[in-house]
Chains A and B, each alone.
Chain A
Amino acid sequence: GQSLEQPSEVTAVEGAIVQINCTYQTSGFYGLSWYQQHDGGAPTFLSYNALDGLEETGRFSSFLSRSDSYGYLLLQELQMKDSASYFCAVSRGGKLIFGQGTELSVKP
């Protein structure tokens, strides 16, 4: 089958750096994406890795290692507004397959 695993919850303080990991058991996918979803809101696209390595977009970076079946989202200089759920997802067959999501709580 296809599955992606993420920690269910992560807590960090404002200004810190946090890494949200995503391990997967699937093959033949085009790339790994990350989406952010605030409580009551819609998922919004954050980052995409088609190739192994690091992609940087402002305070957010994402990493993929296909050989290790592993990726992560790195959030730097955490702000209170970063409190949200973060989903990793693989692109396959015209669809996204989502992980179960990680709820990030940023404390003052």
Chain B
Amino acid sequence: DAMVIQNPRYQVTQFGKPVTLSCSQTLNHNVMYWYQQKSSQAPKLLFHYYDKDFNNEADTPDNFQSRRPNTSFCFLDIRSPGLGDAAMYLCATSTGGTQETQYFGPGTRLLVL
């Protein structure tokens, strides 16, 4: 089945230790998104790629970076995680049409010690 896959599902890191979260998709969608979601809040868009074009949200901290080496894969790098970065990180894809229906992966829950 076509899907969005995120690894790992749970990630524990130490304060200040770089961490990378990964996302892959078999939907062949043009657009890939990274969201941060904290408890009882809406997903907050960090950035998205339309093909290779990177789009950063204005309020995304510099601590967060992303790479998309090919259509299928996208990575979220957190250079120096702080306690406030503990959250669920969701990857999503879409075709890039006007409807913008997004297909979400299961998420990676990040814990910062």
Partner of B100, one of A44, A87, A95: A95
Residues of A within 8 Å of B, CB-based: how many? 20
Interface status of B112 (Cβ within 8 A of chain A): no
Q: Which residue of B is nearest A44, CB measured? A: B104
Tell me the minimal C-beta distance from B15 to chain A in angstroms. Answer: 24
Closest to A99 in B: B42
| CB pair A96 B99 closer than 8 Å | no
- Taken together as a complex, chains A and B put the C-alpha atoms of A100 and B50 apart, in Å, by 25
B48: chain A residues at CB < 8 Å are 94-95
Most buried by B among A45, A96, A99: A96
**B42/A87 in contact, CB under 8 A:** yes
Question: Would A33 and B100 be within 8 Å (CB), given that A42-B106, A42-B107 are in contact?
Answer: yes
Contact indicator per residue, chain B 84-108, by CB within 8 Å of chain A (1) or not (0): 0000001010001011111111110
B70 at the interface (CB under 8 A from A): no
Residue interface mask B24-61, A partner, CB < 8 A = 1: 00000001010000001111010010100001000000
Taking A30-B98, A33-B100, A94-B96 as given, write out 15 further A-B residue pairs in contact, using a Cβ cutoff of 8 Å, ordered by the A residue number: A31-B98, A33-B99, A33-B101, A42-B105, A42-B106, A43-B102, A45-B103, A91-B100, A94-B48, A94-B55, A94-B100, A95-B33, A95-B100, A96-B45, A101-B42
Name A residues whose Cβ lies closer than 8 Å to a Cβ of B: 30-31, 33, 41-45, 48, 50, 87, 91, 94-96, 98-101, 103
13 contacts between A and B (CB under 8 A): A30-B99, A33-B101, A42-B107, A43-B43, A45-B101, A45-B103, A48-B99, A50-B98, A50-B99, A91-B98, A95-B45, A98-B42, A100-B41
